Amino acid sequence: MHWWIRGYATRGSEWRRALGRLWRSRLALVGLAIVVALVVVAVFAPWIAPYSPTKINLRERLKPPSVAHPFGTDDAGRDILSRVIYGSRVTLRICVLVVGLTLGIGTLLGLISGYFGGWVDEVLMRVSDVFLAFPALILAMAIAAALGPSLENAIVAMVAIWWPRYARVTRGQVLSIREIDFVAAARAAGASSTRIMLRHILPNCISPVVVQATLDLGEVVLTAATLSFIGFGAQPPTPEWGAMVSVGRNFLRDYWWYTTFPGLAILITVMGFNLLGDAVRDILDPRLRRGP
Partner 1 sequence: MRRLSGVLCWVLVLGAMAWAGEDVLVMGVTAEPETLDPHVTVDNNSWRAIYYCYDRLVEYEGGTTKLRPGLAQSWEISEDGLTYTFHLRQGITFIDGTPFNAEAVRFNFERLFAIGKGPAGTFEFIKSVEVIDEYTIKFVLDAPFAPALSAFATDQGCIVSPGVMEHEVDGDWGQDWLSEHTAGTGPFYAAEWIHGMRLVLKRNEGYWGEPAKLAQVELRYVPEPEDLRMLLEKGEIDIAEKLTVDQIQSLKGVPGIRVFEAPSFQCHYIYLNCQRPYLNDVRVRRAISYAIDYQGIVDYIWQGTAVRMEGPVPIGFAEHIPVYQYPYDPERAKALLEEAGYDKGFTLRIMHSPVVPEWRQMAIVVQQNLAEIGIDVEVESYAWPTLRAKLDQGDFDMSFGYWTPDYADADMFTWFWFYSENWGLPGNRAWYKNEVMDDLVTAERVEINPEERQRLFEGIQWLAVSDAPYVYLVQAKYQLPMREWVKGYVYNPMLLNMPNFSGIYIEK
Partner 2 sequence: MLAFFIARRLLLLVPTLLGVLLITFLISHIVPGDAAQLIAGPRATPEIIQRIRQEYGLDKPLHIQFAIYLGQVLRGDLGKSIRTRRPVGADIRAFFPATFELTTTAMLLAVLLGIPLGVISAVYRDRLPDHLSRVFSVIGVSMPIFWLGLLLLFLFYIRLGILPGPGRISGDPPAHITGLYLFDSLLTGNWRALGDAALHLVLPSFTLAFAVLARITRMTRSSMLEALAQDYVRTARAKGLHERWVVVRHGLRNALIPTLTVIGLSYGELLGGAVATELIFAWPGMTHYVVGSMTSLDFPAVMGVTLVIAIIYITVNLLVDITYALVDPRIRY
Interface contacts to partner 1, rule CB under 8 A: 54-56, 58-59, 61-62, 75-77, 149, 231, 235-237, 247, 249-254
Select from 77-85, 106-114, 197-205, 226-234 the region that touches partner 2 (CB under 8 A). 226-234
Q: Where are the alpha helices (DSSP H) in 44-150?
A: 45-48, 80-116, 118-132, 136-147
Distance CA 53, CA 45 (A): 10
Number of residues that bind partner 2 (CB under 8 A): 45
- Residue 103 CB, shortest distance to partner 2, in Å, is 22
Q: Which residues pair with 79 in a beta bridge?
A: 73
- Residue 135 CB, shortest distance to partner 1, in Å, is 20
Number of residues that make up the chain? 292
Site residues (CB under 8 A) for partner 2, limited to 138-167: 138-139, 141-143, 145-147
Asked if 225 interacts with partner 2 (CB under 8 A), we say yes
Select from 50-58, 105-113, 196-204, 225-233 the region that touches partner 2 (CB under 8 A). 225-233
Select from 43-51, 68-76, 135-143, 163-171 the region that touches partner 2 (CB under 8 A). 135-143
Q: How far is CA 280 from the centre of its chain?
A: 14
Site residues (CB under 8 A) for partner 2, limited to 178-217: none
By CB neighbour count within 10 A (0-12 exposed, 13-18 middle, 19+ buried), where does 50 fall?
exposed
Distance CA 7, CA 114 (A): 14
Asked if 177 interacts with partner 2 (CB under 8 A), we say no
Spatial contact of 122 and 113, defined as CB atoms under 8 Å apart: no
Residue 24 binds which entry of partner 2, partner 1, none, CB below 5-8 Å type-dependent: none
Asked if 137 interacts with partner 2 (CB under 8 A), we say yes
- Determine the straight-line distance between the first and last CA of the chain, rounded to whole angstroms: 21
Distance CA 186, CA 209 (A): 24
Distance CA 94, CA 155 (A): 7
Which residues are at the interface with partner 2 (CB under 8 A)?
A: 27, 126-127, 129-131, 133-139, 141-143, 145-147, 218, 222, 225-226, 229-232, 242, 245-246, 249, 252-253, 256, 259, 263, 266-267, 270-271, 274-275, 290-292
